[in-house]
Structure 1
Amino acid sequence: MSLWPRYCPPDFSIPELVHAPKVTTKPAPLDGVAPLDFHGTSNHPEYLHLGNGNWLLIAESRMDGVVVLRDGAVEVVEARRLKKGDPVVVGRTENGEEGIYVHPYGFAVPEVVDDEKFSFRTRGTRETPFSRSYDDLYQVLRHDRDHGHIVWVLGPAVVFDRDSRSAMQGLIENGYCHALLAGNALATHDLEAALFGTGLGQDIYTQKLAPHGHYNHLEIINRVRLHGSIKAAIAALGLSDGIICACEKYGIPYVLAGSIRDDGPLPEVITDVCQAQDAMRNQARRATTVIAVATQLHSIAFGNMLPGYRVLLGGEVRPVFLYLVDMSEFSADKLANRGSAQAQAILTNAQDFMVNLFNNLLKE
Structure 2
Amino acid sequence: MPFALPAYNEPDFAALSGAPLARFEAVITPGVAPDGYHATTIFPEYFQLAPQRWIMPAQSRMDCVVVRRGDELDVVEFRRLAPGDMVCVGRRENGEDGIYVHTDPFGSIENAREKFAFRTRMTRESSFSIDYDELYDLLEFERENGFIVWVLGPAVIFDHDSREALTRLVEAGYVHGLLAGNALATHDLEAAMHSTALGQEIYTRRTAALGHYHHLDALNEVRRLGSMRAAMEHGLVKNGVMRAIHERNIPFVLAGSIRDDGPMPEVVADCYKAQDAMRNVVRQATTVMAMATQLHSIATGNMTPSYTVTGGSIRPVYFYSVDMSEFVVDKLANRGSLSARSILTNVQDFLVTTERGLRKRQH
Normalising by the smaller structure, the TM-score range is over 0.9
1:9 corresponds in structure 2 to 10
1:183 corresponds in structure 2 to 181
1:107 corresponds in structure 2 to 106
1:223 aligns with 2:221: yes
Q: Which amino acid aligns with 2:322?
A: V
After superposition, residues 240-319 of structure 1 pair within 5 angstroms as 240-314=238-312, 316-319=313-316
2:330 corresponds in structure 1 to 333
2:135 corresponds in structure 1 to 137
1:43 corresponds in structure 2 to 42
CA–CA separation in structure 2 for the residues paired with 1:312 and 1:52 = 27
Q: What are structure 2's unaligned runs of at least 5 residues?
A: none
Cα gap change, 1:353 to 1:259, in 2 (>3 Å): same
After superposition, residues 134-213 of structure 1 pair within 5 angstroms as 134-213=132-211
RMSD: 1.2
Residues 57-98 of structure 1, C-alpha deviations (whole Å, 9 max, x = no match): 221011001111111111111110111111111111101111
Contact 1:168 1:358 in 2 (8 A): yes
1:239 corresponds in structure 2 to 237
Contact 2:306 2:339 in 1 (8 A): yes
After superposition, residues 42-81 of structure 1 pair within 5 angstroms as 42-81=41-80
The DSSP-based 3-state class of the residue aligned with 2:349 is helix
Alpha-carbon deviation of 1:238? 3.2
Alpha-carbon deviation of 1:230? 1.2
The DSSP-based 3-state class of the residue aligned with 1:50 is strand
The DSSP-based 3-state class of the residue aligned with 1:256 is strand
Contact 2:56 2:73 in 1 (8 A): no
Alpha-carbon deviation of 1:112? 5.0
Contact 1:5 1:109 in 2 (8 A): no
CA–CA separation in structure 1 for the residues paired with 2:303 and 2:110 = 29
CA–CA separation in structure 1 for the residues paired with 2:193 and 2:53 = 59
CA–CA separation in structure 2 for the residues paired with 1:65 and 1:286 = 18
1:28 corresponds in structure 2 to 27
Alpha-carbon deviation of 1:252? 0.6
CA–CA separation in structure 2 for the residues paired with 1:113 and 1:243 = 42
The DSSP-based 3-state class of the residue aligned with 1:7 is coil
The DSSP-based 3-state class of the residue aligned with 2:263 is coil
Worse overlay, 116-125 or 289-298: 116-125
The sequence identity of aligned pairs, in percent, is: 56
Alpha-carbon deviation of 1:22? 1.0
Q: Which amino acid aligns with 1:202?
A: Q
2:343 corresponds in structure 1 to 346
Q: Which amino acid aligns with 1:305?
A: M
Alpha-carbon deviation of 1:30? 2.1
Alignment partner of 1:119 out of 101, 117, 120: 117
Contact 1:3 1:139 in 2 (8 A): no
Q: What are structure 1's unaligned runs of at least 5 residues?
A: none
Q: Which amino acid aligns with 2:339?
A: Q
CA–CA separation in structure 2 for the residues paired with 1:111 and 1:183 = 36
Residues 85-130 of structure 1, C-alpha deviations (whole Å, 9 max, x = no match): 111111111011111100111123254555x331111111001001
Alpha-carbon deviation of 1:211? 0.4
CA–CA separation in structure 2 for the residues paired with 1:19 and 1:51 = 12
CA–CA separation in structure 1 for the residues paired with 2:322 and 2:335 = 17
Q: Which amino acid aligns with 2:300?
A: F
The DSSP-based 3-state class of the residue aligned with 2:50 is coil
TM-score, L = length of structure 1: 0.96
2:89 corresponds in structure 1 to 90
CA–CA separation in structure 1 for the residues paired with 2:196 and 2:136 = 30
Contact 2:154 2:187 in 1 (8 A): yes
Contact 2:282 2:304 in 1 (8 A): yes
The DSSP-based 3-state class of the residue aligned with 2:281 is helix
1:362 aligns with 2:359: yes
Contact 2:21 2:48 in 1 (8 A): yes
After TM superposition, the runs of 4+ consecutive aligned structure 1 residues lying more than 6 A away are: none
The DSSP-based 3-state class of the residue aligned with 1:13 is helix
Cα gap change, 1:193 to 1:113, in 2 (>3 Å): closer
Q: Which amino acid aligns with 1:211?
A: A
Worse overlay, 225-234 or 287-296: 225-234
Q: Which amino acid aligns with 2:263?
A: P
